Structure 1
């Protein structure tokens, strides 16, 4: 890499780290590197191996390609409903990524749950971010807490619940119509 490319890479890493509200030490710990190495990399004073760039990108919740992509500086991105990336989910459910990669300050997902469908048999947790769950259509039950002591919240259109992503949670469509929901998470949870 040229000197200017090394400097550009450092600027990008610092920008993503700041977006994630991570310290140099925090990123270093996640990427299994020293804080001084990350600091030198951000200042363009050293370069990194592909393996290290993968670990750094993973810790930032992005891809290695995102570190070099000059196109994502655009102020806005339009995502048509038909073009939303669909994520793998349980039968009877569909989950779509609304916020496009690389994720910056938040991540948002749209979901559809057929009658009787759920996000899984067991509650799940991910990271420790703020999550807002909003019901657009239908009626669902959101279970918050460990499986043996989870508290149910019956939610109708327009209802929302806010919680930490570290709290185990599970959604069940107990209604008789397909439910549409939104999950908004900030800052984005690690990939």
Structure 2
């Protein structure tokens, strides 16, 4: 059953909410989904999503997670709203204490760029010992293990692959994937994903 999770207003809530709505709309268009299709996939109401895309309401974290999964992306990517690149800004330095961060799969990710780019590099940290749900999205993705040991399940016949520090894996868009700690300890990854709205 489709849900409304916030009461719409008649004017934009704030700049961040407007930018988030624009980002959701851009990603929905990149996925070639109608509002009705996104509403069905996210189990949220069509009117609510319409208000959200116009910046007239803000979502709860639960509804944002539903939207992210329906779009094949993550909360952190939706919340790291692109800001216009400055003229001639070919360098983007993100310090260790900077970068948008938020929920991603079973852990926390931090975006490692701030300006619009053709790919999304992220630092990912987690310690989950159980596989979560499979993710799949249209974008290619590459993962590099910095710390810990990770078991990655690419939904293929055979056993999942175990990756140690220094190992990496690439999988094409559309590949179902999920991962977990292989030894019960925390792990840290670098994930590089194509920009969802730029395919």
2:166 to 149, 152, 158: 158
- Count matched residues: 130
Taking the TM superposition and a 5 Å limit, the aligned residue runs for 1:108-187 are 108-114=121-127, 116=129, 120=132, 122-127=133-138, 129-145=139-155, 151-186=159-194
Q: Does 1:190 align with 2:197?
A: yes
Superposed CA RMSD: 3.6
TM-score, normalising length from structure 1? Answer: 0.55
* Partner residue in 2 for 1:107: 120
Taking the TM superposition and a 5 Å limit, the aligned residue runs for 1:53-72 are 69=84, 71=86
* C-alpha distance 72-156 of structure 1, shift in aligned 2 (>3 A): farther
Instruction: Note the residue ranges of structure 2 that are not aligned, 5 or more in a row.
Output: 1-28, 35-52, 55-76
Distance 1:133 1:175 in 2: 18
Q: Which has the larger radius of gyration?
A: 1
1:77 to 79, 92, 109: 92
Question: 1:29-83 CA distances to partner (integer Å, 9 max, x unpaired)?
Answer: 9498xxxxxxxxxxxxxxxxxx99xxxxxxxx999x968x362640101111111
Question: 1:8-49 CA distances to partner (integer Å, 9 max, x unpaired)?
Answer: xxxxxxxxxxxxxxxxxxx899498xxxxxxxxxxxxxxxxx
Distance 2:78 2:88 in 1: 15
Distance 1:87 1:73 in 2: 29
* Partner residue in 1 for 2:109: 95
Instruction: Note the residue ranges of structure 1 that are not aligned, 5 or more in a row.
Output: 1-26, 33-50, 53-60
* C-alpha distance 98-117 of structure 1, shift in aligned 2 (>3 A): farther
User: Are the counterparts in 1 of residues 141 and 171 from structure 2 also a CA contact under 8 Å?
Assistant: yes
Distance 1:174 1:28 in 2: 35
User: Are the counterparts in 2 of residues 140 and 174 from structure 1 also a CA contact under 8 Å?
Assistant: yes
TM-score, normalising length from structure 2? Answer: 0.53
User: Are the counterparts in 2 of residues 139 and 174 from structure 1 also a CA contact under 8 Å?
Assistant: yes
